[in-house]
């Protein structure tokens, strides 16, 4: 019996060694090979993306500064937003004689009053035509600079119309009215002419009527 037990034990040892030799599927190298063979292969026409490197600190890092949330560009009051320009319908436009004494150059002052309930900006030259017996007489612009004006509600600005009066004793060119178009506008207003009734007839190349920009009115300006 002892001999049979030894023989059985020896047979079991030999069998165990044989199993160890044949069990290569459990080795680390073969395990890695099996894993690789079971991974999915990209479909035809697709490419694999390379890993994306994150910048130092990573997205949302505590060291990352938040964007400036200042008021610039907000379009609200107090941010320096430029007011909309003054439209013709925002303005009450009137004209009056502003000649001082017997000055040879006569002056008509045109007033543009902001009648709207908002601020508006106005800059440059108005369009001016004198309606006469000989047709429309366009006013020439004087060489003056205008930096622009912001009119509060109820605030006026002015510009001057400068011309030579007819002192020839003849009928001259009779003035029937005045057409004013605010800067950058297309809508005009027609006013009664408050100045001298006629301009001299002349062949001079110099303009018979001149205007100043917004904010300029009076004599000797230019």
| DSSP bridge partners of 173 | 199
How far is the C-alpha of 14 from the C-alpha of 41, rounded, in Å? 43
CB atoms within 10 A of CB 5: 9
Look at phi and psi of residue 60 and say left if phi exceeds 0, alpha if psi is from -120 to 50, else beta.
left
Q: Angle at Cα 77 formed by Cα 73 and Cα 81, nearest 5°?
A: 45
Task: Report pLDDT digits (tens) over 72-129.
Answer: 333 334 456 889 999 999 999 999 999 988 788 999 999 999 999 999 999 999 999 9
- Which pLDDT does position 217 carry in this prediction? 74
Is the whole-model pTM more than 0.95?
Answer: no
Pairwise CA distance, residues 153 & 165, whole Å: 36
Does residue 205 have a pLDDT over 70?
A: no
Domains of the chain: 88-211 (2.60.40.10)
Segment 178-197, tens digit of pLDDT: 999 999 999 999 999 999 99
Give me the pLDDT at residue 80, please: 66
């Amino acid at each position: 019996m002892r001999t049979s037990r030894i023989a059985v034990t020896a047979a079991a040892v030999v069998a165990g060694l044989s199993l160890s030799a044949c069990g290569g599927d459990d080795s680390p190298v073969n395990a890695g090979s099996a894993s690789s063979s079971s991974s999915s292969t990209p479909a035809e026409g697709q490419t694999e993306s390379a890993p994306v490197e994150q910048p130092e600190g990573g997205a949302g890092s505590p060291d990352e500064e938040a964007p400036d949330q200042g008021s610039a560009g907000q379009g609200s009051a107090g941010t320096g937003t430029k007011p909309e320009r003054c439209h013709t319908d925002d303005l009450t436009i009137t004209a009056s004689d502003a000649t001082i004494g017997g000055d040879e150059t006569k002056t008509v002052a045109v007033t543009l009053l902001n009648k709207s309930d908002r601020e508006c900006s106005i800059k440059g030259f108005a369009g001016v035509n004198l309606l006469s017996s000989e047709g429309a007489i366009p006013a020439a612009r004087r060489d003056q600079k205008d930096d622009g004006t912001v009119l509060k509600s109820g605030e006026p600005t002015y510009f001057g119309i400068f011309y030579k009066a007819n002192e020839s004793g003849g009928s001259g060119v009779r003035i029937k009215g005045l057409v004013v178009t605010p800067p950058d506008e297309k809508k005009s207003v027609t006013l009664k002419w408050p100045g001298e009734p006629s301009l001299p007839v002349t062949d001079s190349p110099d303009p018979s009527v001149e205007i100043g920009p917004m904010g300029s009115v009076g004599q000797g300006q230019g």
